[in-house]
Structure 1
Amino acid sequence: MRSATTTTASRIISVGGVRGDLVVPNDDLVGSIDSSDEWIRRRTGIVTRRHARKEVLVEDLAEQAGRSAIEAAGIDPEQVDVVIVASISWMQTTPAMAPLVAHRLGTGPGTAAFDANAACAGYCYGIGQADAMIRSGLARHVLVIGAEKISDFIEPTDRTMSFIMGDGSGAALVGPSDTPGIGPTVWGSDGRLNGAIGLTHSWLDFKYAADDERVPWPTARQDGPSVYRWTQTALPELALKAIADAGLTPKDIEVFVPHQANLRIVEGLHDRLGLADDVIVARDIVDTGNTSSASVPLATERLLREGLAQPGQIALQFGFGAGLAYAAQVVRLPEHVGVAGPGAPVPVAEPVAV
């Protein structure tokens, strides 16, 4: 019996992304939650968020982002060996979204394809899996997509999440490299807080509801204070371990791309990690909103496309969310970035200081 052929390392070759094409300012939402534009800005840093039109499905967003990353890399879709789609908003338990997206992209019938549900950590989970596959020889090119249409799961009157979430998809093509471009993945979960973020109830409630019982559509909720406290205590240790496992120090990090959950969380983590004063910090949350598994690749795509960060720079990226699941790794930013999708960000006013 032979073992898989191994390669030296892996790297992210390209990224691509698309955002929902509807720009939704805070003023459009404040009436439903009896709030104000200033309150939302101070609480989250969000000025606008992106929603997709009703007829645009999450698989459409995933396809657009995946195609953008493949085209930017300059490879034929049939060279993609594996497609991993991270999502919490795919409406079917089975089949998975990934085989459908792979087919649409033209990767060929021999492409392995599967979904990963690790909530907002899903993309970083996928990057860790892609890195392991390539280093083990199981695959040569892996397409990792984070895709969400969370506007389908929002209750407009909910004051915990309705004004935070956005729609979009980001993708990365991962391939072999002579030198390491992806550091060791540090990941895990804390099931003690399993109920801190999630849907209001199970889909089984529809199946077992009495004939005369009206069961509402499941929508997303969170215990914001508990999640915030957890991010400030658990995430710094996670991020520092990812840096150390990559053989680096916090001062070596040139770009900081955390999950775009909340600007207060992003700024708080930046202060706690001891990063360099001139580190580039992703703040896509301000006018895209929290796009769950799509937020890290979308934030990366934007930094590169707008020239705020440069290919080859050392970036710390991590995701965290429902479960509570988390994952982090240090990466070198890719050389190629895809053409922005139709929902590319537009300039907005600066957020109120948080």
Structure 2
Amino acid sequence: MYGSRVVALGHYQPTRVLTNTELESIVETSDAWIRQRTGIVTRRVAAEDESVADMATAAARKALADSGVDPADIGMVTVATCSAIDRSPSIAAQVAAGLGVPSPVCFDLNNACAGFCTALACADHTLRAGAARHALVIGAEKMSDLVDWTDRSTCILLGDAAGAAVLSRTDEAGAGIGPVAWGSDPSRGNAVRLMGSWKPRFEQEGQTVFRWATSELPAIARQACERAGIATADLAGVVTHQANLRIIESLARHLNLRDDVVLARDVVESGNTSSVSVPLALSKLVERGELPSGAPVLLFAFGGGLSWAGQVVTCP
């Protein structure tokens, strides 16, 4: 058996910043109320002609350039997204074409906010089995297309972005990416919804999701660490889905982390970017030098489905 590791990261955000103050003119809300309930201060909104594929390609181009891997050697491209309108060619195929990747297996994966960590596990398993030497894993969302701007409970949450990782096979089994802890509770799947029309509107039962995330998910996050053979106290960083600052900090309190652990709080400046939030936050932390190369980091995503996926990775 081979192993795999993350060798490079990249991210992309649109230039348009939507502030809480601007939202006050769109819907009945206030900056103070949004900060208190979610921790969000700003979020990014893509231009009308800026597609999910455009953002995915921009993030992937950056990760690929930093990796030093030749595009011809990428054997797998997968994009986690729940907001893409294009069905065929897939977003992954569009990214591959844009980057000059000649003959990879390409597919999109929809596991809502848990999508990137799910796709990361699929790519890890592919490399471990020897079916590819290098893989490109991307999360990309244009959630602004799906926002109901009259619903003050949800329109304040969502942002647009893309994040990407290049994975490479290693000769050392287990190196770099730990075993995944993943699953779902389909009986509560309707708590987060994107259903019906070609461009459905995002809906969720916020209190149901909040109670589930804060009461049931810490044990699963610990399980991901146990499968990787690492104690939570030995983690250098924790990057969870950036759903809500209160959820992020509640999860952290339940994990018995060191005082100096780096906890991603990108939700404050980027909002909830669904499947993008984990690679976006991780890429920023690595780019700023807040997480050193070789540091063990727990990635843990959760959301619609209700689904979850998490693993411990070594920082590139």
Partner of residue 54, structure 2: 60
2:133 maps to 1:140 = yes
Choose which of 193, 196, 202 in structure 2 pairs with 1:198.
193
Alpha-carbon distance between aligned partners in 2 of 1:93 and 1:74, rounded to the nearest angstrom:
30
Q: In structure 2, the residue corresponding to 1:157 is in which secondary structure?
A: coil
Task: Provide the identity percentage.
Answer: 44
Partner of residue 219, structure 1: 201
Following superposition, the deviation at residue 223 of structure 1 comes to: 0.5
Q: 1:17-67, CA deviations, whole angstroms, 9 ceiling, x for partnerless residues?
A: 001210111011123331110100011111111111111111000000111
Q: In structure 2, the residue corresponding to 1:273 is in which secondary structure?
A: coil
Choose which of 71, 83, 92 in structure 2 pairs with 1:89.
83
2:214 maps to 1:232 = yes
Following superposition, the deviation at residue 100 of structure 1 comes to: 1.4
Following superposition, the deviation at residue 239 of structure 1 comes to: 0.4
Q: In structure 1, the residue corresponding to 2:140 is in which secondary structure?
A: strand
- Checking the alignment, whether the CA contact within 8 Å between 1:20 and 1:166 is kept in structure 2 is no
Q: Aligned ranges for residues 33-112 of structure 1 at < 5 Å? A: 33-108=27-102, 110-112=103-105
2:170 maps to 1:188 = no
Q: In structure 1, the residue corresponding to 2:165 is in which secondary structure?
A: strand
Alpha-carbon distance between aligned partners in 2 of 1:57 and 1:80, rounded to the nearest angstrom:
23
Alpha-carbon distance between aligned partners in 1 of 2:96 and 2:52, rounded to the nearest angstrom:
14
- Relative to the length of structure 2, the TM-score reads 0.97
Alpha-carbon distance between aligned partners in 2 of 1:18 and 1:319, rounded to the nearest angstrom:
19
- Checking the alignment, whether the CA contact within 8 Å between 2:113 and 2:301 is kept in structure 1 is yes
Alpha-carbon distance between aligned partners in 2 of 1:218 and 1:88, rounded to the nearest angstrom:
11
Structure 2: tracts of 5 or more residues without a match: none
Alpha-carbon distance between aligned partners in 2 of 1:303 and 1:100, rounded to the nearest angstrom:
28
Alpha-carbon distance between aligned partners in 1 of 2:114 and 2:200, rounded to the nearest angstrom:
21
2:294 maps to 1:312 = yes
Partner of residue 12, structure 2: 18
Q: In structure 2, the residue corresponding to 1:69 is in which secondary structure?
A: helix
Q: In structure 1, the residue corresponding to 2:107 is in which secondary structure?
A: strand
Structure 1: tracts of 5 or more residues without a match: 1-5, 207-216, 335-354
Give RMSD over aligned pairs: 1.2
Number of aligned residues: 314
- Checking the alignment, whether the CA contact within 8 Å between 1:88 and 1:119 is kept in structure 2 is yes
Alpha-carbon distance between aligned partners in 2 of 1:306 and 1:287, rounded to the nearest angstrom:
15
Partner of residue 338, structure 1: none
Alpha-carbon distance between aligned partners in 2 of 1:231 and 1:85, rounded to the nearest angstrom:
25
Q: In structure 2, the residue corresponding to 1:158 is in which secondary structure?
A: coil
Partner of residue 119, structure 1: 112
Following superposition, the deviation at residue 178 of structure 1 comes to: 4.3
Q: 1:54-86, CA deviations, whole angstroms, 9 ceiling, x for partnerless residues?
A: 111110000001111100001211110000000
Q: 1:159-188, CA deviations, whole angstroms, 9 ceiling, x for partnerless residues?
A: 232111100000000112344100000101
Q: In structure 2, the residue corresponding to 1:174 is in which secondary structure?
A: strand
Runs of 4+ displaced beyond 4 Å:
none
Partner of residue 168, structure 2: 175
Aligned-partner residue type, residue 301 of structure 1: S
Q: In structure 2, the residue corresponding to 1:156 is in which secondary structure?
A: coil
Higher relative contact order (CA 8 A, sep 6+): 1
Following superposition, the deviation at residue 95 of structure 1 comes to: 3.3
2:231 maps to 1:249 = yes
